[in-house]
Homo-oligomer: A and B are copies of this chain.
Amino acid sequence: MSVLNKQIVLANRPNGMPSLDTFRFVEQEINEPAEDEVLLRTLYVSVDPYMRGRMHDAESYIAPFQLNEVIEGGSIGEVVTSKSEKYQPGDIVIGMFGWQTYYTAKEEEVRKIDPSIAPISTHLGVLGMTGLTAYFGLLDIGKPTEGETVVISGAAGAVGSVVGQIAKIKGTRVVGIAGSDEKITFLKEQLHFDEVINYKTATNMKKEIEKACPNGVDVYFDNVGGEISDAVLSKLNRFARVPVCGAISSYNLEKIDVGPRVQTTLIKKSALMQGFTVGNYAKRFPEGAIQLGQWLQEGKLTYRETIREGFENIPNAFLDLFKGNNIGKLLVKVSDRQNDQ
């Protein structure tokens, strides 16, 4: 084959904010599939804040990225050639093959998705890890009940926007925290949040939260950490639950992230904070995916995607995650389907 596989590898481990220099583009021969393998051409790749954590060489729930190796992450591909009985050319599959234009996958490394349910890109977003993160974090840890108040930081982000909608489905009062007028309008008008707070223009977050939550905070879905979370935690109700999903405010800090210690609040309120990653719920993914798909088909769940075009734009799309501009799920489209029916 004369076409080469373009890859983006980790060039160095960033200290503080990553930059374009964090990445390097390389080209490789494409491996023909062996028995039980398929050759995939990448259609979409996901860029997610959690990937920043994998750039550290530190122990975590998931292995760090290796220097000079392809950046791993959720991607969708189309089967080009198949040596597996499970897949036909033209099949659309999802897997963790990351930032490269082609991938030769063992058949168990990927999973077929049904392009008839919803646009295939949604399998990296609302119907994929993003939606499942929202679903399990909110329902399994947050356990909201009707009439309770649910506060969400990073509310206009990929996960936050799904959390808020599920919280509405569950009959709660939903308060979103986000950082631009455009996001605030999106949350109010498209997702029908009950209250929204623009933390960038708020002069006193504690007061804003008090105003938006006259009955206090029963569930706080934390995507950001930092001072926003300090303020929300100070308004927890008794027996409040705090699913801790992300701490984007701290991912690029060069020193230790310091703030008020939480112990006294947790004791006074008999409150719970539980960190999690969606992988903890792997056995229950089918349950979550079926429910999310059903809500989507019933029109109870909507989604927003920002789709960038072009493999070469992946690093910039990733860096944009930390600028706080995007709404909903951020994806990069790498190529078109060839076998689109």
Interface residues of A (CB under 8 A from B): 53, 59-61, 222, 225-226, 229, 238, 244-247, 250, 256-277, 280
Contacts and interface: CB of A to CB of B under 8 A. Distances in A.
Contacts of A266: 244, 273-275
The winner among A60, A266, A274, A276 for most chain B CB atoms within 10 A is A266
Contact of A263 (B61, B238, B247): B247
Contacts of A225: 261, 263-264
Contacts of A244: 263, 266-267
12 contacts: A60-B268, A222-B263, A244-B266, A245-B267, A250-B263, A257-B261, A257-B264, A258-B261, A263-B275, A266-B273, A270-B274, A272-B275
Nearest to A247: B263
Nearest to A268: B60
Minimum-distance CB pairs A-B, first 9: A266-B275, A225-B263, A267-B275, A247-B263, A272-B274, A60-B268, A259-B261, A244-B266, A257-B261
A14 to B, nearest CB: 16
B61 A268 contact: yes
Nearest to A275: B266
A320 B116 CA distance: 71
Contacts of A261: 225-226, 229, 247, 250, 257-259
A236 to B, nearest CB: 10
A263 B229 contact: yes
A290 to B, nearest CB: 24
Contacts of A280: 270
Given A60-B268, A247-B264, 13 more contacts: A61-B270, A222-B263, A225-B261, A244-B267, A245-B267, A250-B264, A262-B273, A265-B275, A266-B275, A267-B277, A270-B274, A271-B275, A272-B275
Contacts of A61: 238, 267-270
A44 B59 CA distance: 51
A272 B275 CA distance: 6
A240 to B, nearest CB: 10
A274 B269 CA distance: 10
A222 B263 CA distance: 9
A88 to B, nearest CB: 38
A226 B262 CA distance: 10
Contacts of A273: 262-263, 266, 272-274
A137 to B, nearest CB: 11
A259 B262 CA distance: 9
Nearest to A274: B272
Contacts of A256: 260
Contacts of A274: 266, 270-273
A193 to B, nearest CB: 23
